[in-house]
Amino acid sequence: MPNWIRKSLVVFVSILTFGLITPSPSAFYNNNGDEKKPADERNLPISTDELTVEPAGILDERSDREKVVGKLMEEAEVQSYTKFGSKIKPVIEEEFRIAILPNIEKAINNVTSSFPDEDLSQLTVTEMPSPGTSERIFHIVKENQDVIRFHVRRDRPPQDGYWFNFHYHTFQDNFQNHYALGKIYWDKNTPPKWMS
């Protein structure tokens, strides 16, 4: 593979992952000839100037936070699909995954950004969405106290059909404000009840 493509891919991956993942230096080398192999494969000494070391703890804190948020997101997705039920889920699943789930993750990160790591590990997702026409999808709780409430409301603007309005509330304002996550169009016909 030409070097310019290899280097472009490395830069693209770094930009796409906000620098959290960087390809190994061997991605820059063409392994066809010995002169282009990395220094460790040619048995040449590597200077200490080429080595960069992340300070201990910074990467660990990020990865712990990311692990907790990742686990919350997995549970949030399961509870959302449980809420949708077998009639609504196949219709909106893909759009929900693309348009709404990333916003749920941003909301979790924003609300919990000031939490110390030990508090993060105490966060859990409630396990039973509300059926029928009720709004609750799931809540994130800490020691049985709600932190974030994720809801979906059925809206029917005049002459526009039905929309699912995804939003959340937080403990920070005593759950008074609606914070939008996005909308998904259903149809002109009345949607089935949740969990049906």
Residue 51 DSSP SS3: coil
Confidence of residue 9 (pLDDT cuts 50, 70, 90): low
Lookup result for tokens 């891919």: 9
Q: What is the pTM of this model?
A: 0.67
Calpha distance 37→32 (Å, rounded): 8
pLDDT tens sequence across 45-86: 444 454 455 555 544 445 588 889 999 999 999 999 999 999
pLDDT tens sequence across 119-159: 888 999 998 899 999 999 999 999 989 999 999 999 999 88
Whether 10 has a pLDDT exceeding 80, the answer reads no
Whether 178 has a pLDDT exceeding 80, the answer reads yes
The b-or-e profile of 39-66 (16+ CB within 10 A means b, else e) is: eeeeeeeeeeeeeeeeeeeeeeeeeebe
Give the distance from CA 27 to its chain's centroid: 28
